[in-house]
Amino acid sequence: MIAVDGVSKSFGSFVAIEDLSFEVAAGEIVGLLGPNGAGKTTMMRILAGVFPPSRGTVHVAGYDVVKDPLRTRAAVGYFPERVSAYLDMTVSSYLRYVAKMKGFSGSAANSQAVSAMGACGIEAVANRIIGSLSKGFRQRVGIAQALTGEPSVLILDEPTSGLDPEQVADMRDLIRGLGEKRTVILSTHILPEVESTCDRVIILHRGRIVAVDTTGNLSRRIQRAGRIFVEIDAPVEDARQHLSQFAGVSSVESKPRSGDSAASFIVMTEQDRDVRAALASSIVQRGWGLVELRSVAFSLEEIFLTLTQDQEGS
């Protein structure tokens, strides 16, 4: 449904994305994950036919986005990063207007607007001025806008950004529902987002693909090594030595002391080993006070670094 082959995009001398190749099958929900400036929006604009790539080819729903921009745009529903919604229009008049821009006339535009509102659960605000809506509802209007014309491909650029947790959950349900009939590619810089919504993930970092994998595989790759914070009421050097020699521990780093006598450490563990219970009981057996012991999650930036190093190593 989407085929991207050797795509690069430069702005002047700045290369925003470089040599991207990937495919998305019909009916898949794929997440583009990457930190700020990774090139997500740039890639999505190319997919939506906003601007052409500097190099490479892109096919969406069978159309070449450069040779056939009009048909591409008709096949694609695009939710841009910054929704430039017409804030002084009502929801329904805006959606009718969008449908007309996409080539529907009169009653057809009206029924497009009605069905898009139905799909996004915004019938109740049909006659409200867009500017008076909450952020979550405005975001839904943006999705409804992308849905008008019943495109087979949806390109959603950070559809949950700026929403509160409840709105995020609603939006995820909405996207999963839309993905039952359509091909969806969405961008985010939040890992749990792709884990809960997407079948597959493409990770971008500095304009390049660092990983393409199923969501399940990716979670496993990321969680393979562990990191534990431990605070022990014991002589620092003794505690450090004990931790370093413990089976399954790969490295130990001292943290600045937090209390009067306790020593704090960051303990890295080997792949797929959960040593927390054994470590806790060994500390207690030595007669030391176990003040705290908890897993420390990896930040997205650290995950990107790991995956980038993985790639360079292979």
Binding site for ligand ATP (CB under 6 A): 11, 14, 16, 34, 36-42, 81, 189
Distance in Å, CB of 52 to ligand ATP, minimum: 13
Closer CB to ligand ATP, 39 or 149, in the complex: 39
Q: Among residues 231, 235, 264, 267, which one has the least CA distance to residue 252?
A: 267
Q: Pick one of Mg ion, ligand ATP, none as the site partner of residue 188 (Cβ within 5 to 8 A by kind).
A: none
How does DSSP classify residue 190? -
3-state class of 171 per DSSP? helix
Radius of gyration of the chain from its Cα atoms, rounded to whole angstroms: 25
The separation between CA 183 and the C-alpha centre of its own chain, rounded to angstroms, equals 16
Q: Which is nearer to ligand ATP, 125 or 191 (CB)?
A: 191
Taking CB positions, which residue lies at the least distance from Mg ion? Answer: 41
Q: How far is the CB of 127 from Mg ion (least distance, A)?
A: 32
**Strands (DSSP E) found in 91-194:** 153-157, 183-188
CB atoms within 10 A of CB 299: 11
CA triple 299-80-205, angle to 5 deg: 35
Q: Which does 42 bind (CB under 5 to 8 A by kind): Mg ion, ligand ATP, none?
A: ligand ATP
Asked if residue 231 lies in contact with residue 262, where contact means CB atoms within 8 angstroms, the answer is yes
Interhelix angle 91-101/106-120, rounded to 10 degrees, is: 120
- For ligand ATP, the closer of residues 41 and 139 by Cβ is 41
Least distance CB 266 / ligand ATP (angstroms): 28
Provide the minimum distance between the beta carbon of 309 and ligand ATP in the complex, in angstroms, as a whole number: 20
38 binds, among Mg ion, ligand ATP, none (CB under 5 to 8 A by kind): ligand ATP
- Which is closer to ligand ATP, CB of 11 or CB of 271? 11
CB of 36 to Mg ion, least distance (A): 7
Nearer residue to ligand ATP within complex by CB, 51 or 229: 51
Instruction: Give just the sign of the alpha carbon dihedral 136, 137, 138, 142.
Output: positive
Q: How far is the CB of 162 from ligand ATP (least distance, A)?
A: 12
Binding site for Mg ion (CB under 5 A): 40-41, 81
Tokens of 301: 């930036």
Q: Residue 22 or residue 246: which is nearer to Mg ion going by CB? A: 22
The one of ligand ATP, Mg ion, none whose footprint includes residue 11, by CB under 5 to 8 A per kind, is ligand ATP
DSSP state of 297: P
> 75 vs 14, 24, 62, 183, CA distance in Å?
30, 15, 9, 11
